[in-house]
Amino acid sequence: MEIKGFTYGFYGKRGQYRSPEGVKSQELMYETGINWMCLAVVTHQDTAHSTEIKFEFGRSASDRDITAAVERAHNNGIRVCLKPMVNCKDGVWRAHINFADGDEGGRDLYWDKWFQSYEDYMIYYAELAEETGCEMLCIGCEMSGTERKEKHWRALIAKIRAVYHGKLVYNTNHGREAQVKWFDAVDYLGTSAYFPVAEAGGATSEMMQREWEKVKVSMREVYDLWKKPIIFIEIGCRSAHGCSTMPWDFMHTDLPHDEEEQAAFYDSCLTVFGQEPWFAGVFWWDWSTTIYDTKEEAAKDNGFNIHLKKAEEVLKDWYKKL
C-alpha cells in the first residue's frame, strides 16, 4: 500500500504547529509507522452562499506554521499532502456551498465570483506546497454542491498545475465517487470513506469486513471507470459505542467509550483493502494538534484520536506489514 497516512492539524490555530505541544503530538503520530501526513489547514466563508473566502490571520495556521510542520515531516522521511479546507463560519457543512445555475441572464455570476475567490485561495496554497516540497495537494474537500461545475473545476485544475508540480487529489464524499465528471483531471481519486459498516454497536472486525467487501466492489467499479488509484483521504471512527454505524459522527458525545469497536473498524478496513493494487492507501482522521499523555486520559477520550488506544496498536501492526 503506497500511502500509510494520518491527517494532522485540523483546525490548528496560529502557532500551534510550532508549539512544544504541537511538535510532540506530530512526533507521536510518526510512531504509528506512517509514511505520509495529510496537513489539514482551514479557513472560512461566512455562509454556504457567500462568494468570498476569508483568510483569518489571527486564527488560521500561518505559512511559518505549515512550513515547520512540513519540514519536520520531511526530516523524518514522511511525505506530505497539503489539504487546504474551506468551512462555513455559521456551521453549515461545506457540501452545501451552492448557487443557482444560469443566473443573471444566463451567466454564472455567483459561481464565477465564488470560484474566483476559491482560485485565489487554492493558488496561494498550491504555491506554498510547491515551495515547501509537498508531494501532494488536495484541491477540495467534500464540496458536493460545487462538483457539477465541471468547466470551473477543470479551469481551476489547469491553473493549479501551472504553479504546482506534485500530485493532485480531490476529496469527494462517500457515495459520490462516480458522479465527479472531472475526476480524470486529477492524479488520485479521494473519498471520505465514512461508510457505515455495522448495523449496531459492538460489531467485530469480521462482521465489518463483510460490509467492507461490498464497498470494495463499488470502489473497484470506480477505479475501472476512471483508471486512477483510490485514496481513502478521510476515514476514521471514534472510540464510542455504535460509531461504526455512523463513522462520520462527532456530535453524539453521550455514547459510551468503546476502543474495541474503533480498533475493529481499523482492522477490518485494512484487511479488506490493504493488498488491493488499485488502492493507493489511507489518511486516517485525525490526529489532534495537541494530544493527551496517559492511558487514563485516552480512556476518557471518545473522539477520533487513537493515541494510547487499542486502534493505535492495530494500526502499528498493519503499517509494519503493508
Q: Which of 227, 194, 188 minimizes the C-alpha distance to 211?
A: 194
Interatomic CA distance for residues 157 and 282, integer angstroms: 23
Interatomic CA distance for residues 103 and 86, integer angstroms: 24
Helical residues (DSSP H) of 31-163, grouped into ranges: 63-75, 103-106, 109-132, 150-163
Average pLDDT, the chain: 96
Encode pLDDT of 161-202 as tens digits: 999 999 999 999 999 999 999 999 999 999 999 999 999 999
Interatomic CA distance for residues 134 and 73, integer angstroms: 10
Q: What's the pLDDT at 104?
A: 65
Report the run of H or E that residue 226 belongs to, with start and end. helix 205-226
Average pLDDT rounded to a whole number, residues 67-78: 98
Encode pLDDT of 206-235 as tens digits: 999 999 999 999 999 999 999 999 999 999
Q: Is the pLDDT of residue 105 over 90?
A: no
**Domain span including residue 69:** 3-321
pTM value is 0.96
Interatomic CA distance for residues 121 and 215, integer angstroms: 34
Q: If DSSP states are collapsed to H, E and C, what string results for 180-195?
A: CCCHHHCCEEEEECCC
Q: Which letter, b or e, does each residue of 11-30 get, where b requires 16 or more Cβ atoms within 10 Å of its Cβ?
A: bbbeebbbeeebeebbeebb
Any idea what the CATH number is for the domain that residue 47 is in? 3.20.20.80
Angle between helices 63-75 and 109-132 (to 10 degrees): 50
Provide the pLDDT confidence category of residue 53 given band limits of 50, 70 and 90: very high
Instruction: Find all residues with CB under 8 Å of 35, minimum gap 6, and list them.
Output: 3, 4, 5, 77, 78, 79
Number of compact structural domains in the chain? 1
